[in-house]
Structure 1
Amino acid sequence: MSETPQDRAQKVREMFSQIAPRYDLLNRILSAGVDRRWRAAAVAAALERRPHRILDLATGTGDLALLLKQQAPQAEVVGADFAPPMLERARSKAQKAGLSIPFMEADALALPFPEASFEAITIAFGFRNFADYSGALRELYRVLVEGGRLVILEFPPPPRSSLGLLYRFYFTQVLPLIGGLISGKPSAYRYLPDSVERFPEPEVLDTMMRSAGFRTRHTLLTGGIVALHLGDKPTAEERLSVLRTGESA
């Protein structure tokens, strides 16, 4: 019997719950600290329009949520994830940093928020773990206000370049070995390169985001190792302008 999206989601939830104790350490080691710069770029994009309410989805241990709150202390930042052990660590980190951030368990395909709840939504390295990309994008569009922004920071398939070949070797051979030794869960770090290879190319994800209603653009970082996707939810005036332009064309 084939694996259902629900089965896959449950396996991913269990896997991330198991590696939660060593997750932060491994992120620093395996990315050589470059992940801090990637997150800083995502935060800058999310805060560009000075949002007052922000959702950090797939928050993990809360790194991006904490950075958002530090950079925009006046904003309400909410962290959400589907792995309770990750959320426990996020709450502990926020308390130690003296930051007030509610962290809650949530399913990206059925978010526990009413329509137009947030002015910005961020997802750092978690979107590829969702069981249904199109369904998640529709849900994200629903809970964003008009004029709100979705920021997705994600690993696309490695680029077809010398750097991409080197990165693919590291990602498929070295990372699972180091990650498995430190975490004691080698299967989790075999999943990571597999999930990246299966993830849509940046142009394909842009198309999916536009199909959900977003106006999109993306930027490649560190030679294409990471992609920063921005999706803006048009206002009623912007949608009307597009319709008028189409009618007059």
Structure 2
Amino acid sequence: MSENTPIEQETENTTHFGYKTVNKEEKVKKVAEVFHSVAAKYDVMNDLMSFGIHRLWKRFTIDNSGVRAGQKVLDLAGGTGDLTAKFSRIVGQSGHVILADINNSMLNVGREKLHDLGIVGNVDYVQANAEALPFADNTFDIVTIAFGLRNVTDKDAALRSIYRVLKPGGRLLVLEFSKPSTELLSKAYDIYSFNILPKMGDLVASDGESYQYLAESIRMHPDQETLKQMMETAGFEECNYQNLTGGIVALHKGFKF
């Protein structure tokens, strides 16, 4: 981790916003501000900062979802709808996909993008907090959350909420930035994240500060084994993960039986 990583632990009333310790209510507002700010340039920045590799990570997630025609899918923290677009085509008109995001700006960008792609009929858009999902128990065959869990204030509550809305036999897939598997890669990734990424965000999205937060939030996210244990604590079984791009990203999977 960077030398700027804070030593303060989370408490009942405080949590981390990047490397800062803030009240939990304040984090919700600050995260909202970040994504209101970057929504319009979100897809462009994703391609630039990952060199397009995020598309391969998302395709790998789809391939591991086991999604089939007629199923019901929740794309949580789905943002601009990359996963939703692919799920929509696979589940078909007999299936249903919900694109859910806590941030209305991101949801609007996703809705507009998917409409432009001609994806209508089997997709609904819901503004929702992952910690208290507004869906009935045992609703979804599959829940995905891609690059969203690290921004959730109470990750344990979110995992329990996801478990509740999954059908028995359903699966959760968490695609998220994680911990590089070698020290050399970790050092190179730190240089890129803290020296290049904020400048790129400033140049392209006119918001270097939000991308500084992005780099910090990645470092504060639980590592692969810790997230696996958190999923198990929430009730998920047969939990496992696969490192992608040397552990820069990991795909976690768990089942509800």
The count of corresponding residues between Structure 1 and Structure 2 is 234
Q: Is the 8 A contact 2:67 2:142 kept in 1?
A: no
Cα deviations across residues 125-147 of structure 1 (Å, max 9, x unaligned)?
00100001111111000000111
After the TM superposition, which residues 103-114 of structure 1 pair with which residues of structure 2 at under 5 Å, given as runs? 103-114=125-136
Tell me which amino acid in the other structure corresponds to 2:240: R
- Of the three residues 217, 226, 229, the one matched with 2:252 is 229
1:36 deviates by 0.3
After the TM superposition, which residues 7-156 of structure 1 pair with which residues of structure 2 at under 5 Å, given as runs? 7-48=26-67, 52-73=71-92, 74-100=94-120, 101-156=123-178
Change (3 A) 1:50 1:4: farther
Q: Is the 8 A contact 1:14 1:83 kept in 2?
A: no
TM-score by length of structure 1 reads 0.90
Range 3-12 or range 65-74, more displaced: 65-74
Q: 1:44 is paired with a residue of what secondary structure? A: helix
Q: 1:103 is paired with a residue of what secondary structure? A: strand
1:199 deviates by 0.7
Over 6 Å off, 4+ runs:
none
Separation in structure 2 between the aligned mates of residue 147 and residue 17 of structure 1, nearest angstrom: 36
Separation in structure 1 between the aligned mates of residue 66 and residue 128 of structure 2, nearest angstrom: 23
Structure 1 runs not aligned, ≥5 long: 235-249
- Of the three residues 202, 213, 219, the one matched with 2:242 is 219
Q: Is the 8 A contact 1:158 1:165 kept in 2?
A: no
Range 127-136 or range 68-77, more displaced: 68-77
Separation in structure 1 between the aligned mates of residue 194 and residue 113 of structure 2, nearest angstrom: 31
Q: Is the 8 A contact 1:46 1:149 kept in 2?
A: yes
Q: Is the 8 A contact 1:61 1:90 kept in 2?
A: yes
TM-score by length of structure 2 reads 0.87
Separation in structure 2 between the aligned mates of residue 50 and residue 70 of structure 1, nearest angstrom: 9
Change (3 A) 1:112 1:4: same
Separation in structure 1 between the aligned mates of residue 117 and residue 196 of structure 2, nearest angstrom: 33
Q: 1:121 is paired with a residue of what secondary structure? A: strand
- Of the three residues 204, 225, 237, the one matched with 1:182 is 204
Structure 2 residue 218 is matched with structure 1 residue 199: no
- Of the three residues 178, 191, 197, the one matched with 1:169 is 191
Q: 2:130 is paired with a residue of what secondary structure? A: coil
Separation in structure 1 between the aligned mates of residue 103 and residue 138 of structure 2, nearest angstrom: 25
Is the helix fraction higher in 1 or 2? 1
**What is the match of residue 238 of structure 1?**
none
The percentage of aligned residue pairs carrying the same residue is: 38
1:75 deviates by 2.4
Q: Is the 8 A contact 1:51 1:120 kept in 2?
A: no
Cα deviations across residues 198-228 of structure 1 (Å, max 9, x unaligned)?
1111000000100011010000011111100
Give the alignment's Cα RMSD to 1 decimal: 1.5
Separation in structure 2 between the aligned mates of residue 93 and residue 231 of structure 1, nearest angstrom: 30
Separation in structure 2 between the aligned mates of residue 48 and residue 62 of structure 1, nearest angstrom: 16
Structure 2 runs not aligned, ≥5 long: 1-12, 15-21
